[in-house]
Chain A
């Protein structure tokens, strides 16, 4: 057989494209919800890291080292399969996915945030404290907003990572873009075509995310 000719049979795939497209909202739901929850958990974790209470520091350090030190896929499969066995609670693929991605991205985000806060001038904190502003308000109104503006590029990076890593959900049966492409692939015995479509979808999503972040960055710079 002449393998020099790349034979792509998109015609057989077209009727199934809407099915793959439905995966976009699934992928976006996993990414968006995990990112939002991971952001909140990340802030809490960062506060632990920069606090002066030793046990909180230890907790945050151990937490981060565990979630950064093991593969995300392993965390996902463990949470999905071990939870029913250990607790008797039948965790769904959606819950397991959100839980894993949230916990995992919280670990990474907290490191970015810690770096962002450390980069701020210590004088700001000292000045605010000497003015008698309570610690929670200093954090909420002075430190965290500046830190977040500084680390916006790394936050966007994390969001892009999460968007692509959400494809791992297909291993436990979540019907995201990749899983749907694989189902079409096995239905039609065609490999490249559905995967190329999935690849294009991920690329478009990441491009949209990148340009949105770019706009946001510009706006924050001027304000």
Chain B
């Protein structure tokens, strides 16, 4: 009986050891990048075809970045909420997931220069009479928590009477609430909005006249990578244009 327990323990520890001892051959240590793969087209999984592989705009950007820095890239996954804690605990060297460099987040992490800009748009039901943010009086608008889009929607409540903002965790949550009729409009990056409208019948996109919102790469506070990454990003304008064409075309 004891030997059986012992063998279970040993088997487990060897399992653990296997997981840990990923051989680190090759010249350069890989850059560990944490991504939350639930936000197409920026980062997602083609679960029908590519299975467990994380793909998307941000993935291509970071792979190119690795080429420019001469470092291999190792992608690990986490929930969006766990991205910043993972940087702080040193589990990852950088995080990409359409992250907006807000003032609040700058208190916890450092950011690169922006590598892409998202123009906000409204997603509404096909039957909706809404044509601009001015029509949102006495309506509920959904926004993703902690994004500049949420901040902007909050600002609208000062001028649009009766407008209230519902903050949710993910883009997908907004779509569900829209279908359920709990919100009448959702604000998000236009490329994502067009993508959703294309794949989900009954929804349409309303373009609005607002400035674009930058997205950037997040690093642990004081990371020595920020400088080199910014230099690399300056040389990557053409690459990023190509990657944009590949993933974010309407």
Q: Is A122 an interface residue (CB 8 A)?
A: no
Q: Give the CA-CA distance A15 to B38 in the complex, in Å.
A: 17
Kindly list chain B residues whose C-beta atoms are within 8 Å of the C-beta of A88: 90
Residue B249 lies at the interface, judged by CB distance under 8 Å to chain A: no
Q: Is the CB of B79 within 8 A of A170?
A: yes
Interface size bucket, A side?
35 or more
Q: Which of B104-120 contact A (CB under 8 A)?
A: none
What is the bound-complex CA distance between A40 and B8, given in angstroms? 11
Distance in angstroms between the alpha carbons of A67 and B79 in the assembled complex: 24
Considering the chains assembled together, what is the distance between the CA atoms of A187 and B199 in angstroms?
A: 10
Q: Which residues of A contact B8 (CB under 8 A)?
A: 36
B16 engages A95 (CB within 8 Å):
yes
Partner of B48, one of A3, A15, A80, A82: A15
CB contacts (< 8 Å) of B136 on chain A: these are: none
In the complex, how many angstroms separate the beta carbon of B69 from the nearest chain A beta carbon?
22
User: Which residues of chain B are near A63, meaning CB under 8 Å?
Assistant: none
B49-81 vs A, CB cutoff 8 Å, 1 = contact: the mask equals 101100000000000000000000000111101
Contacts of B196 in A (CB 8 A): 189
Considering the chains assembled together, what is the distance between the CA atoms of A28 and B199 in angstroms? 34
Measured as residues with beta carbon below 8 angstroms from the partner, the interface class of chain B is 35 or more
- Determine if A1 is an interface residue (Cβ-Cβ < 8 Å): yes
Chain A residue nearest in CB terms to B37: A183
In the complex with contacts A37-B12, A84-B91, A92-B19, A189-B175 CB distance below 8 A? yes
- Does B199 lie within 8 Å of A186, measured CB to CB? no
Residue numbers in B under 8 Å from A33 (CB-CB)? 12
A137 CB to nearest chain B CB (Å): 12
A3's contact among B39, B49, B181, by CB below 8 Å, is which?
B181
User: Is the CB–CB distance between A81 and B38 below 8 Å?
Assistant: no
The 0/1 profile, CB within 8 Å of B marked 1, for residues 74-94 of chain A is: 000000111111001010101
B169-190 interface code vs A (CB 8 A; 1 in, 0 out):
0111001100111000000000
- Give Cα A90 to B12, complex, Å: 18
A184 interfacial contact with B, CB 8 Å = yes
Give the contacts of B7-31 with A (CB-CB under 8 A).
Answer: 8, 12, 16, 19-20
Contacts of B44 in A (CB 8 A): 183, 186-187
Question: Could you tell me if A16 and B48 are in contact, using CB atoms closer than 8 angstroms?
Answer: yes
A47 to chain B, nearest CB (A): 14
Q: Is the CB of B45 within 8 A of A90?
A: no
Cβ contacts under 8 Å, A80 to chain B: 82
Query: Does any Cβ of B come within 8 Å of A149's Cβ?
Result: no
- A81-B86, A85-B89, A173-B82 known; 6 new pairs, CB 8 Å cut-off, are A1-B202, A15-B49, A20-B47, A33-B12, A186-B39, A187-B46
